[in-house]
Structure 1
């Protein structure tokens, strides 16, 4: 990401997006807007609640975008109630083939592409020259819209569709989850503010793929967040 003074952040309150917002501020960028999307996902209530808390903690503007029309073209288990989200033993985060299968269940068509384009429009309108999503190398193996290649191509596209040539940059796209946790620890991220879970329960379920990756990452970094998980 080129050096910029104003950025728009995609903030879901998950591990990756939260660390990216903290890192942007560390680099003295002005986060002119943090965007949280309600696309009808099961965790929408908690993602919105926790994103608002993170934005308040950092003193940055926050907006929730209602894009629940995603349901019109979606069969993702994150959205469709009669589809089961893979949990527990159905998830094998170290098995690439199995992860590819579970990824198909939670895949949301063009989600990050749509989010980035909406954020880029706000960036141009607000005089910002970069959009910062939260991606990671670990999930890029099964979710191509988490990859550095996707970031590069998105930037190329926005060169034509934004008058000020908005770029897309991510501080964690080359990192696995444990390294992102370590980065966040150094940034003093209050872990109780994040919401990495696919569900909107009282605590992180600990069973969905996102929770399992988070659980392993925190354990690898020797950070005890057991009280944040259910059970």
Structure 2
């Protein structure tokens, strides 16, 4: 029986988890919070869910763009270029984004009689994004389990592995990663220069996957 919802962005990580756990997933949830790349990601999330016969919904979170401070919400020109190791990439943090999304997903799960919320945060995110770390996932899982009648659980199987590890799993599943989006700048093509684009290139190369993504540079 399908017992899970998944937070699915349309990026490499969540699409890999979607295919890995497709037999368990009853509902895919995307969140439109006004980021530069939501318009690129969400249609891909919807497409993959439809391909797998999984219901998909998009939840609007427009208040985040209005009230939260992040270069991810300020237009393509605000996105810094360079590797994630650079301190400038910290500007892309959207405060408590995963906490908000997990809380909503938990409420939707309980409303639909489901037991698990899947999220595809991974080890490479830890140094920059506090709401991707082990401590955060464990604390949120405890809160969600204790705050729901059925004891909803957060399932985050990629927390301690790298993006390259995720890509290797996707390779075994036959995922075409050109049908995913990473670039924080949005636009018609992925820029190839921002932190997520660089991380994407490196992960695909390390996993031995030909990168057929169309980049600007």
Mapped to 1, the partners of 2:113 and 2:147 lie a distance apart of 15
CA offset at residue 86 of structure 1? 0.6
Q: Distance in 1 between matches of 2:89 and 2:149?
A: 35
1:40 to 26, 34, 37: 34
Instruction: State whether structure 2 residue 45 is matched by structure 1 residue 51.
Output: yes
2:180 to 194, 199, 210: 194
Which residue of the other structure, out of 138, 161, 165, is the alignment partner of 1:175?
161
Q: Could you say if the C-alpha distance between residues 19 and 82 of structure 1 is closer, same or farther in structure 2, counting changes exceeding 3 Å?
A: closer
CA contact (8 A) 1:23 1:171 kept: no
Are 2:83 and 2:198, in contact at CA under 8 Å, matched by a contact in 1?
no
Return structure 1 stretches of 4+ with deviation > 4 angstroms.
none
Residue 148 of structure 1, CA deviation? 2.1
| Count of aligned positions | 217
Cα deviation, residue 5, structure 1: 4.1
Q: Distance in 2 between matches of 1:208 and 1:128?
A: 37
SS in 1 for 2:78: coil
**How far 1:40 moved relative to its partner?**
0.6
Residue 81 (structure 1) aligns with: 75
Cα deviation for residue 102 of structure 1 reads 2.5
- Residue 61 of structure 2, aligned match among 50, 56, 67: 67
1:230 — aligned with what?
216
Point out where structure 2 has 5 or more consecutive residues left out of the alignment. none
RMSD: 1.7
Structure 2 SS opposite 1:163: coil
Query: Are the counterparts in 1 of residues 5 and 117 from structure 2 also a CA contact under 8 Å?
Result: yes
Deviation at 1:82, TM superposition (A): 8.5
| Structure 2 CA distance for aligned equivalents of residues 82 and 217 of structure 1 | 23
Q: Counterpart of 2:21 in 1: which secondary structure?
A: helix
Provide the rounded CA distance (Å) in 1 between the counterparts of 2:9 and 2:185: 13
| Unaligned stretches of 5+ residues in structure 1 | none
How has the CA–CA distance of structure 1 residues 76 and 83 changed in structure 2, closer, same or farther, with 3 Å as cutoff? farther
Paired residue for 2:21? 24
- Per the normalisation by structure 2, the TM-score is 0.94
Task: Name the TM-score, length of structure 1 as normaliser.
Answer: 0.88
Whole-angstrom CA distance in 2 between matches of 1:109 and 1:202: 27
